[in-house]
Each structure stands twice: as C-alpha cells, then as structure tokens.
Amino acid sequence: MPGRRKACFVTALTSRTELDIDPDKLRESVVELLERHPLVFEGTRQLALQHRPEATDPWYEGCQRQSLISSDSDFTEVHGELRDTYLGEVFDRLPFKPIRTRIMALDPKYCYSVHRDLTPRYHLAVTTSEHARFVFIEHDKVLHIPADGDLYYVDTRQLHSAFNGGDDMRIHIVFGTDGESK
C-alpha cells in the first residue's frame, strides 16, 4: 500500500509507523472540515469520518459511547466528502483497513474516565501539546503522541485514560481496527 513503512519503534503498548503525512496540510484539512461539521459533546468532542452504510446521521452516529452503538466493524464507509481531499489521501496511505474512524478532541484541562476499548486504536495527532498524554493505569506508563505526521498504534484494550493539561485543544484522528492489525 502507498506510504506503508516498517514500524519505527515498538513497545508492549504502542508502535509508530511513518506515513509521510504533512502535519500542516493535515491541520488545515481538519480545520476546514470542522468549519463545515462541528465537533459534538462537551469536553470530549468528536466527529465521525466513517459511518455505517445505512447511516441517517453519518457525521455523528459513530460518536456515541461504544456500548451505545452497533459494532465498530459496522462503520466502514469513508465519507464521500473526503474523497479527493488530503484526509482522503490519509485514508489511502493506511497500512490496514480502518473502522469507526473519528476526529476526537480533548478540551484544555480535561480528561477521559479510565476505561478499556474492545479493540486497539491508531492515533494520528493533528494538534497537541507536551501536556497531552495517555496514562496506562496497570502498566504505570505515560505516553505522548506528537503531531509529527506519523501514525501511532495504541493498545487501548489496556486500562487507560487520556488527559489534556495544556491550554489548547488536543485533536487526534482515531482509527479503529479489527484488533488483528499492528
């Protein structure tokens, strides 16, 4: 697949894959998209980039808690509006087939509850700060994902949280997986 490269580092919880994504173009594309389709939910803002084939609210139905929606694997359709855009190119460069991809943002001075996801996730940071981190509770590990244009596998099946202790919103594109991709 285009852009596919070997993982640059691997730990029990994370790995990084270079995708040659231009961080500035990525930010611009996300900002333009969010002008047309705003993020929903206070604190943990989201916008779905993939939807179910029969979706009635395709930009937002995948933004609910995992337990409140159908299976992640149902969210396979990339929005047609993203074709021929830089975000569409990002999807084309992925070394796996994503599911339930969302833009997820954490407001400044906000954190998620401690939880486990059913499958791992890949994160592509759009905007962040050194004060935005993942915390893996049972492993006593803290992880920062830089906005460097690389893709980060995160084993979110492990008990974790994320917080944004910075002054600006932290925005990631979060790609779901079937659990077999790494």
d(C-alpha 79, C-alpha 20), whole Å: 22
Could you count the other beta carbons within 10 Å of the beta carbon of residue 74?
18
Residue with tokens 């969010």: 34
**Numbered residues of the known binding site for Fe(3+):** 89, 92, 115, 117, 140, 160
Domains by residue range for the chain, with CATH: 14-177 (2.60.120.330)
User: Exposed/middle/buried for 166, CB within 10 Å: 0-12, 13-18, 19+?
Assistant: middle
pLDDT in tens, 94-150: 999 999 999 999 999 999 999 998 889 999 999 999 999 999 999 999 999 999 999
Binding-site positions read 89, 92, 112, 115, 117, 121, 123, 140, 160, 170
* The amino acid at 71: S
pLDDT category at 76 given cuts 50, 70, 90 is confident
For residue 115, give the DSSP letter.
Answer: B
Cite the annotated binding site for 2-oxoglutarate by residue number: 112, 121, 123, 170
Residue numbering of the annotated binding site for succinate: 112, 123, 170
At 10-48, the pLDDT tens digits run: 578 999 999 989 999 999 999 999 999 988 866 568 999
pTM: 0.88
